Structure 1
């Protein structure tokens, strides 16, 4: 029981690190394109983030299946699932912001 609690608390602290790593990767992508003089389109940035989220979800499924088979320990499975959950929550938040911005633009008078 204590091992499970320690594993869960470690996974939660790992998930907080994932959030900051997503932030830093987005910042690096934007600053890298500015520093090199090239610009990335909004669509390409969103496409890359969506691809990363899908890859995270796939990795989580693989880890879950390996955990069921006994090929992966509980820590690896929890880390993968928490990473996938964080990616999904990020994607949902971005979607909500994009929809809100679109509705705001649609309400503007021309």
Structure 2
């Protein structure tokens, strides 16, 4: 119990206040930025990263399948890699369908 009190007391000193302030500022990010949003990230970047991650997942599943054919990987590793690639592909396909649907809705709007 005394150790807990000492650790709390160390936070209330001048160094502790500075540490708390630094931690809060790192959590809050830069002033004027939208909370919860990383600076410099936009929708196109997120979609690009998602596409890259999906392709990496698909290539990883393919590589794992080749390793299994060569006898260098067991069945569980192959199944895990293929299921991960399948989930990534389904997510990308669903997102593509939503984007196309939204685009078609926008084009049907009257000006």
For residues 85 and 61 of structure 2, what CA distance do their matches in structure 1 show?
6
User: What's 2:69 paired with?
Assistant: 68
User: What's 2:29 paired with?
Assistant: none
- Structure 1 runs of 4+ aligned residues shifted over 3 Å read 33-37
Query: What do you get for the CA RMSD once the two structures are aligned?
Result: 1.6
Identify, as 1 or 2, the structure richer in helix: 1
User: What's 1:101 paired with?
Assistant: 102
Count of residues in correspondence between the two structures: 78
Unaligned runs of 5+ in 2: 1-33
Structure with more relative contact order (C-alpha pairs < 8 Å, separation 6 or more): 1
User: What's 2:49 paired with?
Assistant: 48
Larger radius of gyration: 2
For residues 36 and 57 of structure 1, what CA distance do their matches in structure 2 show?
28
TM-score (norm 2): 0.66
